[in-house]
Structure 1
Amino acid sequence: MRITRVKTTLLSCSYERPVTFAHLSIPYRSIVLVEVITDEGIVGVGDADAFPTGDPSIVELIQHRFAPLLIGENPLEIGRLWEKMFGVPHAMGRYKGLEIYAIGALDMALWDILGKHVGLPVYQLLGGNRDQIEAYASLDYVGPSQIGDVVRDCLDRGFRAVKIRIGVEPDKDEDIVREARNALGDHGILMIDVNSAWSRLEALKRIRSLEKYNPTWIEEPLPPYELDGISELAAATHIPIAIGEHEIFTRFDAKELIQKGAGDIFQPDLRSGGISECKRIADLADAWGIPCIPHFYGPGVRFAAMIHLLGGIRNSKYVEYPIRKDPLRSELVLDFPVPEEGVVNIPQQPGLGIHLNEEAISMYSKGETI
């Protein structure tokens, strides 16, 4: 089998209301859908973010730097092809950002091809540790007057665990956490995402004020360049510190965090290096007793790839499931795996086990498909 073409399509959709984080507000999502086509008719799919505003740079990277490396190659040789692609950012000393995202999208597609070729779901090829996983409800920023109702709605939908966001209005942070805890009750599972909003000087004081609410973790309390500060926080509080969305792009980043003692829970995003690299990150973390619970706020193809990854690793307890409606998540994939009573079943069909909605692709396409 040989790769004959790499097809990329830029997609974008507007949100009903912007996504608000501590440092920015995002009115819409843009991604590039990647399809790796073979001479045997098997097609693998993946995706990458095209932030902030439908930036075509990721398409250009995939088509001009990485696709030529794959054309004519055997798609089943995933490990060798990953290292071949990684030679591009390695040669330029760029181990984070768009190049790694591009590799991630292509890697997802290669695993999809492998699974379809051998007739097995990807998670079984990765080890087959589980065929379902508990989801936690991941919320947007919600103020203190509404957070209780939103959390109770998540409980009504079957979720036992909820992640809230703070840091947008710092003077309201504790009010938000208190109302969320009251809605969850003593036994509900509460995660808190700060989105890097705190400074090194204030972080420990703020964490101390939240300890009485018994969060399962506090996520990204400091900016990603404050690794020493994150190490100090992890040593100073009994609340686990979760990091990785903006800190872990490869296993080499994970190694550095382990050496520094920075972070108790690792949260790489599957866009960073794809299934192959995130599996290596998870296995490295597992050797050190560190849970790996990947970050997710992406589209439907990546969600499918992520739950297959989680089915193949030992050290993950949850999958992140954003509550916000996102057409590139729910509409792009015809058989999108939705949590039922807070649990996601991993698709059993070969490969990633999903099918694309061609009508949705046409509806959200922005520009020419290459």
Structure 2
Amino acid sequence: MKITNIRIGEISVPLKTPFKTALRTVNSVEDIIVEIHTDTGNVGYGEAPPTGVITGDTKGAIIGALKDHIIKSIIGMDIENFEEIMLKLDKSLVKNTSAKAAIDIALYDLYGQLYNAPLYKMLGGYKKEIITDVTISVNDPEEMAKDSLDAIRRGFDTLKIKVGKDASMDLERMKAIRNAIGYDVKLRIDANQGWKPKEAVKILRKMEDTGLDIEFVEQPVEAHDIEGLKYVTDNISIPVLADESVFSAKDALTILQNRAADYINIKLMKTGGLHNALKICSIAEVYGVECMIGCMLEAKVSVNAAVHLAAAKSIITKIDLDGPVLCSEDPVEGGAIFDEFKITLNDAPGLGIKKVNGIRYLD
């Protein structure tokens, strides 16, 4: 199964409601799709969202990395030589993790097709169904409480609340939500690097004292501030999850060696795909530290790949893969079934994707 052609395209998928965090506001998913074609007629699908404020990867940068570097390095290679392809992909250029992830995902799709097996079974086969949380965008307290109640009506029992825009208002947001939904629903909070270390400790201690029962706080401080992350971890009772601080296996090792966080968040667009995400899983297993798997604002192609990883590995105990259910439509035929909070895999080979509709090809 040799790579004969790699096509690049764009998709645009409107969101049901605007997605708001401490870093940005988004109204639609505008992602790059790759198709890797082979001499056997098999096609592998991958996807990359331009998330400049997190990964540094803009749409133009992703397209440039693919056309000028990555495609040239792997065209003509055989999927059977999987490790060699991954080495070539990794060395094709530095960083550009989203562009690498799109190709990596498509290659793993083909790898599963080569051996006629669903990817989650090839990676570990731990389970076939997973349960995701859903994200509540940062807004006024009353609106966030209303959105939380709506999510519960749809069956979600775990909510991830976006905070970090205004520390004093964040406490009011969380009070409003907890008062509205009661204590049978888990609340996670994501500050998206929005606080300074001492500010984070102050506001999180207030949340503890108020009895808000927070499951964990995600990335309370800036990504580069590992000392600040450790300071927060050491000075609050709420567990801390490292997200933007962890792009690579080396980053994960640094976090765990310094006990700078209690959990690690894996995102394929940060790791450059499944190949390096698996390395983070192995490191976390050695340290006995549970992982969450998350996504950017992505459509079903790349989130589907993350679902396969989550279903394969027991170390991934927390799921934040709500991207497709935030979209107003699904351009992907095949793949995992996203039914609100429940995500179910099928046994189709690879990622099980048959077609992606609405692609605007760039070649």
Q: Is TM-score (shorter-chain normalized) higher than 0.5? A: yes
Q: Secondary structure at the match of 1:56?
A: helix
CA shift digits 1:220-246 (9 cap, x unpaired): 1001011111011112222111112x2
Structure 1: which amino acid aligns with 2:3? I
Q: Any conservation in 2 of the 1:121–1:351 contact (CA below 8 Å)?
A: yes
Q: Secondary structure at the match of 1:192?
A: strand
Q: Any conservation in 1 of the 2:3–2:36 contact (CA below 8 Å)?
A: yes
Q: Secondary structure at the match of 1:41?
A: coil
Q: Indicate the residue corresponding to 1:75 in structure 2.
A: 79
State the alpha-carbon separation in 1 of the partners of residues 131 and 232 from structure 2.
28
State the alpha-carbon separation in 1 of the partners of residues 193 and 204 from structure 2.
13
Q: Indicate the residue corresponding to 1:26 in structure 2.
A: 26
CA shift digits 1:137-176 (9 cap, x unpaired): 1222232112222212211211111111112233321111
State the alpha-carbon separation in 1 of the partners of residues 351 and 335 from structure 2.
11
Count of matched residue pairs:
354
Q: Indicate the residue corresponding to 1:46 in structure 2.
A: 46
State the alpha-carbon separation in 2 of the partners of residues 153 and 75 from structure 1.
45
Q: How does 1:298-317 map to 2 (within 5 A)?
A: 298-317=298-317
Q: Any conservation in 1 of the 2:4–2:39 contact (CA below 8 Å)?
A: yes
State the alpha-carbon separation in 1 of the partners of residues 12 and 151 from structure 2.
27
Q: Secondary structure at the match of 1:168?
A: coil
Find the partner of 2:267 among 262, 266, 269.
269
Is the aligned partner of 1:141 residue 2:138?
yes
The percent of aligned pairs where both chains have the same amino acid is: 24
TM-score by length of 2: 0.91
Gaps in structure 1 of 5+ consecutive residues: none
Find the partner of 1:64 among 64, 68, 72.
68
Q: Secondary structure at the match of 1:355?
A: strand
Q: Indicate the residue corresponding to 2:327 in structure 1.
A: 326
Q: Indicate the residue corresponding to 2:188 in structure 1.
A: 191
- Report the alpha carbon displacement of residue 59 of structure 1 after superposing the two structures with TM: 1.1
Q: Any conservation in 2 of the 1:133–1:318 contact (CA below 8 Å)?
A: no
CA shift digits 1:90-117 (9 cap, x unpaired): xxxx4x4x2x222211111111111112
- Report the alpha carbon displacement of residue 50 of structure 1 after superposing the two structures with TM: 2.6
How much is the aligned-residue C-alpha RMSD, in angstroms?
A: 2.1
Structure 1: which amino acid aligns with 2:102? A
Gaps in structure 2 of 5+ consecutive residues: none
TM-score by length of 1: 0.89
**4+ residue stretches of structure 1 with deviation over 6 A?**
none
State the alpha-carbon separation in 2 of the partners of residues 179 and 350 from structure 1.
46
Q: Indicate the residue corresponding to 1:175 in structure 2.
A: 172
Q: Any conservation in 2 of the 1:10–1:59 contact (CA below 8 Å)?
A: no
Q: How does 1:146-165 map to 2 (within 5 A)?
A: 146-165=143-162
Structure 1: which amino acid aligns with 2:136? L
State the alpha-carbon separation in 1 of the partners of residues 81 and 291 from structure 2.
26
State the alpha-carbon separation in 1 of the partners of residues 147 and 16 from structure 2.
17
CA shift digits 1:321-365 (9 cap, x unpaired): 1487325xx42212464544732112321111123233x22xxx3
CA shift digits 1:179-210 (9 cap, x unpaired): 22223322321100111110123111111011
Distance 1:48 1:236, change over 3 A: same
State the alpha-carbon separation in 1 of the partners of residues 154 and 221 from structure 2.
32
Q: Secondary structure at the match of 2:193?
A: coil
CA shift digits 1:256-302 (9 cap, x unpaired): 11122121111121122211111111121121111111221322101
- Report the alpha carbon displacement of residue 34 of structure 1 after superposing the two structures with TM: 0.8
Is the aligned partner of 1:259 residue 2:257?
yes
Q: Secondary structure at the match of 2:326?
A: coil
Q: Indicate the residue corresponding to 1:224 in structure 2.
A: 223
Structure ranking higher in strand proportion = 2
